[in-house]
Structure 1
């Protein structure tokens, strides 16, 4: 790659980092407003009692989204490191592990935890498993990314050991 191509790639990484920051902040703010801000505002404006059960339900339902937003934040963080000159080989394994963990936890939460927490607090009745194909897919992809990050760490360690021998 030429120096011009490297600089173009780093500029794109910086742009992606800011896009990730914008997405996490804006979506996170909207989720917080939906769960807590708007119900509170509605109760104050309409002079109705505050409904903590609805606020709790929306909070529980948005728990997997918080995990997914952490994954986006982790990707943005890695892109920011690459934009500052860190080698891709050094930034990628930890980013893969964090993103994999975020997607895996979010997927498992959307399939198993959300429905059972809603039943536990008495907000819904129904099954013990939410047949959420998207959540299952994200969970599986997250597990694979986590494992790939570990494999890359081991490969980098082996490469460093071989480099020391030379």
Structure 2
């Protein structure tokens, strides 16, 4: 019978403990797809102008940044901002999901998308289409529930040459 040296056991013990602490690795591609499916459901709620349906996807301390508005922090501020937006009769959002990334732990993910948002121009009263880019950070809350912790939306409307010149000064 061959004896196992204590040195071998002691040197391998930390590796075994580290592996046990790391939990089961999750396929990042599967996580990204799950989060994108969640994002699609949120966009469907937005299209239906269902404020409660949209809000169920935000963490209590989430932050959302939208063009032309101050950042909204917390569910109450986000709901207030979105409720006003959803009252717009011209509101329409079309997004094409882009790349996404997820941690191997399966606890954190980032999604991106490009698209347009149609809203009423406050100066003309006419519908205007705003090209946008979005980046959203999600975390796994409980079970299979994903929540938004940070959403950043950027207006991609081309800047006029005059505005660029003023910014350069």
TM-score by length of 2: 0.27
Identify the structure with the greater helix proportion. 1
Larger radius of gyration: 2
